[in-house]
Structure 1
Amino acid sequence: MSSLSVHSAAQKNQLSLIRTLVSEDPKLVDAVDADQRTPLHWAASTGSLDVARYLLLQGAQVDKPDGSGWTALHIAGADIKKTNDKGLTPLRSRRRCKRDMTGCSLCFGVQEVLQINVKDRANQTPLHRAATTGSTGLIKVLLNPPEGSPKTRLNTGDRIGNTPLHLAMESAHAEAAVLLIEAGADRGRVNLEDQIPEQVDGVGGQEQKRVRQYVVERCGPCDP
């Protein structure tokens, strides 16, 4: 990236520079770099909230995929070390937003978009990513789209049949799992290995056992 590019400015949360560049050329809002990433992709990757908010107000496309099939929403809810089907991480940068996703302007930008069920090349939606990382703030936003918008699909399976609930249980994110179940996630749906979410081994050991117990305490026993 050029040090003066709109992408670099988004990555570094340089709002004044972004405003100047976009005012001179509004098309820069969705301009792509060599990796097909937009300024919003970079803002999402580094927690540049002021820039993300501005880009969204200027009409930036939250569901626009980069060259690896990642949207800004995927990145906002993604495990930065998780790879896609090509073995690539969401972004080269290892920095990510440390704030609770409820405070991220990118999450609130979901209220302005329609394609919240967009899939990446692993057939995963932003809800899959949020479930994998236990991002309860983003899950809440995705589960409550604005009136008139499509509802978030709770039970979409990825390439190996895992739903967001499978991934929340696999990663031992109990609160995320409870949120999904309370929203209507199918606890009896099986993946390609014929496992329901509460049968997935995941992290294993006592931690996995505690998560399963917590889910039963909060939501009752599973009745597949």
Structure 2
Amino acid sequence: MDITHLETLIENDHLEEIKALLTQKPELAAQTTSHQISPVLLACYYKKQEIANVIAEFVQELNIFEACAIGKFDDVTLLIFKDPQSINSYSVDGFTPLGLACYFGHEDIARFLVLKGAEVNVPSKNGFNVFPIHSAVAANNFNITKMLLDAGAYPNVCQKSGVAPLHSAAQLGNIELIILLLEHGAEVYLRMEGGKLPADLAEDKGFHEIAEILMPED
């Protein structure tokens, strides 16, 4: 009941009630939610950074996945120092530390992980086949995407449903990101399941000029 209550408070952005609940029952911060992840990660996935930070204060020690998701650089460096093998491990929901750092836009952590040997070309282990570069592009983050590509990330890997990084960048309408991917060999003729090209997704979103740029030549 208590962990369910905490989940509801996180979902509904009730920060003060979360503080009160965890002050009374701090052990809840370390329990597993119904989503099979920690309350810290749940708050991160809901994009509620302030709430994630508050919950983290009640956790004795964040794990590598929580630290990467929430953006605790010092915690990440210490955890990798203590357990270097954890750098390419997988969270309960199937993501690597690098994948989480990329998705949540923590450039300093992503750079550190790559510097320390994080694999840039490994997919998530959860059926979605999400690579770090997919997460970086989904986060609309030019700097992390460039860093991954410079470190050897493949530009044409496909996640579930055949979505390549260029598909996501086209849908976002981010021309700088699109140019970056094209300069690193992204292919304009890759089709998703259902047959859509990156140009089609740009067109669907009303980015007509981008769609024109991305249209494969006959």
TM over 0.5: yes
CA distance in 1, matches of 2:80, 2:69: 15
Aligned residue identity for 2:65: H
Secondary structure of residue in 2 paired with 1:143? helix
Q: What is the Cα-based RMSD across aligned positions, in Å?
A: 3.3
2:131 alignment partner in structure 1: 125
Q: CA 1:203–1:43 in structure 2 vs 1: closer, same or farther (change >3 Å)?
A: farther
CA distance in 1, matches of 2:215, 2:198: 13
CA distance in 1, matches of 2:143, 2:87: 17
Can you give the 5+ residue segments of structure 2 that lack an aligned partner in the other structure? 1-25, 31-37, 41-51
Deviation of 1:2 after TM superposition, in Å, equals 4.6
Alignment of 1:56-135 (within 5 A): 56-58=80-82, 59=84, 61-78=86-103, 101-102=106-107, 104-113=108-117, 115-120=119-124, 121-135=127-141
Aligned length: 169
Q: What's the TM-score once normalised by structure 2's chain length?
A: 0.63
| Higher relative contact order (CA closer than 8 Å, sequence separation 6+) | 1
1:21 alignment partner in structure 2: none
2:64 alignment partner in structure 1: 40
2:4 alignment partner in structure 1: none
Q: CA 1:50–1:188 in structure 2 vs 1: closer, same or farther (change >3 Å)?
A: same
Percent sequence identity over aligned pairs: 20
Deviation of 1:221 after TM superposition, in Å, equals 6.2
CA distance in 1, matches of 2:155, 2:73: 27
Q: Do structure 1's residue 154 and structure 2's residue 179 form an aligned pair?
A: no
Q: Do structure 1's residue 223 and structure 2's residue 217 form an aligned pair?
A: yes
Q: What's the TM-score once normalised by structure 1's chain length?
A: 0.62
Deviation of 1:178 after TM superposition, in Å, equals 1.5
CA distance in 2, matches of 1:186, 1:55: 38
Q: CA 1:68–1:204 in structure 2 vs 1: closer, same or farther (change >3 Å)?
A: same
Alignment of 1:137-176 (within 5 A): 137-145=143-151, 151-176=152-177
